[in-house]
Structure 1
Amino acid sequence: MRFAVLGSGSGGNAAVVEAGGTRILVDAGLSARQITRRLGLMGIAPESIDAILLTHEHGDHIRGLRVLLKSVAAPIYATPATSHVVRDQLGVASWKIFESGAGFSVGGLAIESFAVPHDAVEPVGFVFRTEQRAIGLVSDSGHVTARVTEALRGVDSLFVEANYDDALLEADTKRPWSTKQRISSRHGHLSNAQAAELVAELAKDGLRHVVLGHLSRDCNNPEVALAAIRGKVEEVACACQDEPCGWHDGPSAPCEIRFGRDELFG
C-alpha cells in the first residue's frame, strides 16, 4: 500500500491511495484538469480510479468533482449529510453512503472512517488498512479529539493537517479577527503545535512517517511546520499546493520520490 498527495492547501486538496490493484482518490478539490495531470505524473490513468472518498463538502475538497466524473466512472463514498449537500451539484453520480464511524472496503482495501471536528456538515477522516500497513488521513480538523487519536492509533504513516503557526496567525494583517478566530476555533483548522502533539502521541504506537498538509501560505511555511514535528518520527515532509509530493511507500520500501527528515516539497 502506498499513497501520494496530489495537492494540499486552500486552493484545493486531493490524494490517492493504492493497494493491491485498488486505487482510491480522496477528495477532488483541485480542478479536474489538474487532478488528471497530477494522476498522470504518478503513472495513474484517471479511468483506473476505483472509488472517490469525500472527507467533507467544502469547495477546496470537491471543486473538481463534477467535471472529473465525466472521465472517471467511479462511485463516490460519503456520509449521508455530506452526500445530501454535494449530490445536487453533481447531477448523475453513483453514491455509496456510509455512516460516520463505520468501516467498509473497496476492492481488497479495508477503510475505517471517524468523525473529526470541523465546520462542515459531517466531516470524517480515514484509516486505510492492509495486513501489512495502516495509513491515516486527517484533513481539516479544529482540534484532536480522543476519538480521533484512538482511531489513528497503530498507523505507521499519517497525512495530517498543519494549517497554521500560532505566532504567524496572530501577526497576520490580511485576515480580520473574526477569520482568525474561525481558523483557530475548535471547529476550524489544526495548528502546527496541535499536529505535533498528535504525532508525538501516535509515535508511541508505531507511527514513523508523516506528511503535513493544508499549510497556509500566509500563516505557516514548511520550515516552521517541519520544525514543530522534527525528531518525533523517522520521516516528515510537507505536501505542497502546486505539485504532487510523490509516492510514499512506507517503512518497507523507498518512496519513488524520497522524502527525508529535512526535505521539503514545494
Structure 2
Amino acid sequence: MRFIVLGSGSGGNAAVVEAGGIRLLVDAGLSAKQLVTRMMASGINPATLNAVLLTHEHGDHIKGLRVMMKQLAVPIYATPATSMVVRDGGVGGSWKIFESGAGFRMNGLEIQSFAVPHDAVEPVGFTFRHEDKSFGLLSDTGHVTKLILDRLRGVNALFVEANYDDELLEADMKRPWSTKQRISSRHGHLSNAQTAALVAELIPAGLRRVVLGHLSRDCNCPVKAAAAVRAAFMEVEVCCAGQDNTCGWWE
C-alpha cells in the first residue's frame, strides 16, 4: 500500500491511494490540468485510475472533477447528498452511491467510510486496508468524534488536516471574526493542537506515519504544525503536504 498527496490546502486537495492493484483518486480539488500534471510527474497515468472517491462537495475538493470526468471512464464514489450537489453542478460520469458509514471492497482493498463533522452536506473520511496494512484519510473536520477515533484506531499511516495554529488564527487581521469562528467551530477545521491530540490517541494502536494537510497559508506553517505533533511523539514520522507540489510517495 502507498499514497501520495498531490496537493493540499484551501486552493485545492487531492491524493492517490494504491493497494492490491487498485489506484484511487481521492478528491479532485486542483484544476484538471494540475491533477494530470502532478500525477504524470509522480509516475501515475490518469488512465490507470480505477475510481474517484469524494470526501465532500466543497470546491477545493472537486474543482477539477467536471473536466477530469470528460477524460476518464471510471466511477465516482460519493454519499447520496454529496453526489446530488456535485451532479447538480454539472459533473457527469458513472456514479457509485454509498451510505455514510458504509464499507466496500475493490479487489483485495477494503474501504470504510465514516461520517465527519464539517459544514458540508454529508462529509466523510476513509480508511483503506489491504492485507496487514492500513491507511486513514481525514480531511476537513471540525472536531474529533468517538466514531472518528474508532474508525482510525489501528491505521499504520494517516493523512489528516492541521488547518490552523490557535495563536496565529486569533492574531490574523485578514479574516473577520465570523470567519474565524467558522474555522474554529465544531463543524470547521482542526487546529494543530487538536490534530496532535488525535495522533496521541492513535499511536498506541500502531500509527507510525502522519502527513499533515490543509495547512492555512496565513494561520499556520509547516514548522508549527509538525512541531505540535512531534513535540511528545518523536517516534512518529511526520511531514506536511503543501498546496503547490506533491509530498512524494509514502509506502
Who is 1:245 aligned against?
Answer: 247
Who is 2:211 aligned against?
Answer: 211
Q: TM-score, normalised by structure 1?
A: 0.92
Who is 1:234 aligned against?
Answer: 236
> What per-residue deviation string (whole Å, max 9, x for no partner) do you get for residues 167-202 of structure 1?
000000000000000000000000000000000000
How many residue pairs align between the two structures? 249
Within the alignment, does 1:93 sit opposite 2:93 as a pair?
A: yes
Give the deviation of 1:101 after TM superposition.
0.5
| In 2: Cα distance, 1:234 partner to 1:180 partner | 30
The one-letter code of the counterpart of 1:113 is: S
CA contact (8 A) 2:169 2:180 kept: yes
The one-letter code of the counterpart of 2:194 is: Q
| In 2: Cα distance, 1:210 partner to 1:72 partner | 30
The one-letter code of the counterpart of 1:97 is: I
Q: How does 1:126-141 map to 2 (within 5 A)?
A: 126-141=126-141
Q: Partner of 1:69: helix, strand, or coil? A: helix
The one-letter code of the counterpart of 2:21 is: G
The one-letter code of the counterpart of 1:242 is: D
Runs of 4+ in 1 over 3 A off after TM superposition: none
Within the alignment, does 1:113 sit opposite 2:126 as a pair?
A: no
Who is 2:11 aligned against?
Answer: 11
CA contact (8 A) 1:30 1:63 kept: yes
The one-letter code of the counterpart of 1:75 is: P
Who is 1:260 aligned against?
Answer: none
Give the deviation of 1:91 after TM superposition.
4.5
Q: Partner of 2:205: helix, strand, or coil? A: coil
CA contact (8 A) 1:6 1:39 kept: yes
| In 2: Cα distance, 1:225 partner to 1:92 partner | 37
> What per-residue deviation string (whole Å, max 9, x for no partner) do you get for residues 115-154 of structure 1?
0000000000000001120100000000000100010000
| In 2: Cα distance, 1:26 partner to 1:91 partner | 16
Q: TM-score, normalised by structure 2?
A: 0.98
Q: Partner of 1:66: helix, strand, or coil? A: helix
Q: How does 1:180-199 map to 2 (within 5 A)?
A: 180-199=180-199
CA contact (8 A) 1:39 1:45 kept: yes
Stretch deviating more after TM superposition (57-66 or 222-231): 222-231
The one-letter code of the counterpart of 1:248 is: W
Q: Partner of 2:212: helix, strand, or coil? A: strand
CA contact (8 A) 1:65 1:90 kept: no
| In 1: Cα distance, 2:53 partner to 2:38 partner | 17
Q: Structure 2 vs 1, CA of residues 91 and 11 (structure 1 numbering), >3 Å: closer, same or farther?
A: closer
Give the deviation of 1:73 after TM superposition.
1.3
Within the alignment, does 1:124 sit opposite 2:118 as a pair?
A: no
The one-letter code of the counterpart of 1:120 is: A
Who is 1:81 aligned against?
Answer: 81
| In 1: Cα distance, 2:242 partner to 2:70 partner | 27
CA contact (8 A) 1:6 1:38 kept: yes
Who is 1:259 aligned against?
Answer: none
CA contact (8 A) 1:100 1:124 kept: yes
Within the alignment, does 1:158 sit opposite 2:158 as a pair?
A: yes
The one-letter code of the counterpart of 2:241 is: A
Q: How does 1:13-28 map to 2 (within 5 A)?
A: 13-28=13-28
Stretch deviating more after TM superposition (107-116 or 151-160): 107-116
Q: Partner of 1:200: helix, strand, or coil? A: helix
CA contact (8 A) 2:20 2:130 kept: no
| In 2: Cα distance, 1:99 partner to 1:107 partner | 20
CA contact (8 A) 2:66 2:92 kept: no
Q: Partner of 1:113: helix, strand, or coil? A: strand
Q: Partner of 1:204: helix, strand, or coil? A: helix
Aligned Cα root-mean-square deviation (Å): 0.8
CA contact (8 A) 1:51 1:106 kept: no
Q: Structure 2 vs 1, CA of residues 91 and 158 (structure 1 numbering), >3 Å: closer, same or farther?
A: closer
Unaligned runs of 5+ in 2: none
| In 2: Cα distance, 1:107 partner to 1:51 partner | 13
| In 1: Cα distance, 2:38 partner to 2:108 partner | 25
